[in-house]
A and B are shown apart, each in its own frame.
Chain A
Amino acid sequence: MGERSSEAAAMDLDAHNFNSELYIQTVLKKCTLREVMEKEAHIIRDTQTLHSDMQTLVYENYNKFISASDTIKKMTSDFKEMEAEMDLLAANMNSIANFSDQISTTLHDTRQKLTQLSSVHTTLQKVQFLFRLPHTLKQNKEEGSLSLAVQNYTRALGTLKIYSHNVSFSSIHKECDEIMEGVKDQLFGQLSSKQATPKELGECVELLLSLGEPAPVLCLKFLQHASERQNEQLQGMEEHLRVGDQDVIEFLDVGSNDFLSDICLNVATYNELFAKKCQIEEGDDPSALLDNFVHEAMDKYLQLVKRKVEDEQAPGTEATVLVRALDRFYRRLQAASTLLPGPNYSKYGMEVVVQAGHRQSQTHLKNMQAHFVELLSNVRQTLAAPKLSLTVEEEKRNPSSSNLPELLNTLVAGSVDKIKSCLQDLKLFLQSDLTFSLKQVFRSKFCCSVREGFVVAFIKFLMDTATGFCVPQTPPTLLLLLSKMCLEMESSTVNFLLSQTDEEFCVEDSAKGTTRLVLCKQLHESAQKLLDYFVRTQGLNLSQMLRKSVETRDWLSTPEPRTVRAVMKRVVEDVAAIEVQVGSLYEQGIQQERSSDSSRRTQRKRTNWYAPSQIDSTLASNLQKLFSERIEIFSCVDFSTVSIMTGIIKISLKTLLECVRLRTFGKFGLQQIQVDTHYLQMYLWRFVENENLVHFLLDEILGSTVHRCLDPVLMEPSVVEMICERG
């Protein structure tokens, strides 16, 4: 394409890179003769036209050049004329300047006279003002425009002082002074009038100052008046506080409005008037005076607020209104405190708020404590009640223990619900639209007092109350219930409460306070203590029965046994009743090698091991001890039914053993014990963790009896069995 276009360009006559050779060749090649002829003629024509054009152009340009050279010649002659005219102008200007000088020298004298005359006029006016001054002042005073009077007086004062040697002036001065004394009196009067607003006061004091009254006196006067006013307001507030006709919001609102705005205004005025002017003066530092004044007033104010807030926090009141009121109070105080000198009063305000928060949690703690005690006494009543209405038999069939889980639930859930509602109330203090709730100081202190002072303190109170029941008079069922309650708290409730508190109150340094672990541990210990006490109490109750039964019988001359002694039946019944009770609250637990009936028979054979051989029972029992695993009689109790029952049974059987050892038995006495122990063996094994333990203790009892027997002859086992099965 490019080639073609360049070829075409080479063929174009007007183109820049026209190639004549190529053109001719091409034309000759392509065109017919006729066409070549035509083309030649055409080119010749064109060439001629171009030629004539060129000639015309040359002519035209030549003409133009000639006319231009003519113009230049003319210009050179014109400039010569102009130079001469300029010289003339300069000469004229010089003469004008000379004239002007002459005129000004002639006018100088006249002007000076004029100036003199005008100054004389001013002086005369001043003198006239001075002579008329007393009159003006009087008039001003009568009109009550004291500020104008003072303004006039101060204007004239300088002059009067300068010309005081002149009699007429000094008399004017005197007259003026007299009038001004009156003005001052009026001003002082205003200063001490009670209706004066701080603004008026400010004006008064400003005027007096400009009259040259000593600043310290005025300071005092001003402050005295201000404090009078403030005290009046405070008294008004106190009156309201006493009568109690305002709710806390209104109280704090009115107080904040009137008192705080007045005190701010006073302080501002004071600063404006005195602070700058009097700093240099000696004596009382004006800012110290002000500080004192503010401090005193604020002190009283804060006291009043505190009292009102305290009044508001009677037990059981909700925090909604209080929180709003405190917010308003704190907001105002914060704003005001930037204007007030001396210590930062918003800090004190914060203290009031923090205290209110603390007190609120304390109030709730007290509520909770009372609530818990009430719950507890209800529970105690419920525990005591059925025993009155039901006979022993009925109770056994339909034991009061069936409602133990229910009672437990009342205790735990009742407390937790109440705590939750208290926390909800306390949370009001942390609403995000409250100014003080955003302050770190408040948050950390408040959250701490909620966590430690309320939740943790309550749990501790609960533990103390519960463990406080570890006294002999407490009904065992209550001990059991409380123990389970502590356990329940430990396993879930405490976790729940603490995590909820930490979360809702954003307690960051919960590690610093009482940790969950510590609390759980304490609860666990309390539960253990209560449970141990329960086991001990029940064990001792059964023991007492057994001891009396052994002590009061004459075992040497007892008749041949025909039945199981009633006390043994009673013991078994009681144990069963206790188990039902315990079982309703605690898990069953694991029983070791719960054997079938047949294995119990083999156990019994071991019991009878003494009988056939009649060997020395010390040796026998020692041998037996060697072979049987040593049983820890007084191990700790676990939180399971079998463990608890084992504990109780162990204590009871140990008692029986001890009692037996204190007596001497005849043949039938021994046989009676044989029957009794067999009976116990038949019934007690099912309650315990490890039935070997019961066997061991019963063997010990029988062994000791054999030992304490003058005529140790045991009964036929079949007879014993028969007696026992007969009941």
Chain B
Amino acid sequence: MSQEKTIRTTTDVDSLRSEIRDKSVRVIDVRREDDYKQSHIPTAVNLPLANLLSDDSPERVLKLVNSMGISDDTSVVVYDDTFGALASRVAWTLEYLGHSDVSLLETTFSKWKSLGLENDNKTPEVQTTNHSIHLKPEILATSNYLETSKDKPSVILIDNRERLNFLEQHIPGAISLPYRTLATSDKILRPKEDMKRLLDNRGITGNAEIITYCGSVGTLSGLAYYALKSVGLPNVKLYVRSFKEWKNLQKPTEKQQDANYWDLSAE
């Protein structure tokens, strides 16, 4: 059971509800503070993504984790209202710190509410904890790392921005897998078999080293990180500073030439 728990990437609605009842889970709501204060899933603590991003150094993250009452063996479930992208970025950060038992709620808060499930506006009492640090550099890609490894045949670089943005400009060698592709209309990630087939078709399989990136802070590509993990791909890294940093560093980019694809889009 516990082994199964450590590899789950999403937590379904019913499981989370029973874990909340059992008080065996720490739920993190990553929406803005105002939204959180209005209503949230019972017992959830609030960690707005912007707050995390203002300084996501391991030392700071450790403080945040401790203040949310998360111990090394606490089961953590993260949710947002942004199709799982913001939650993914927070979950990934915890994972990077060395907290492995973290997963995403399978759906968004809006959907949770629309199903008529419990919510309240109480801020829970939290006992500060003392989490350890065991950084996992194997899930992080830096620009330097990416530059030296992206041309290796065993590395697959995935751009999770929308297709038009990809056509316009991307990191050379990247393939396009827009973040919308990963979800269904009511779940933040496709069912496993569905996801697996989609990725198989694209040649995203086996023991390849896979690096995901998106536009700026690793949210969309964070979701992709969990999409890839959900089908059991063993070696996935997030280029967390993504295309914004890549461009700022004036590293080479590529574009689809000789076509006015933007004019095909409706405003």
- A and B associate in one complex: no
Using CB atoms and an 8 Å cutoff, list the residues of chain B in contact with chain A: none
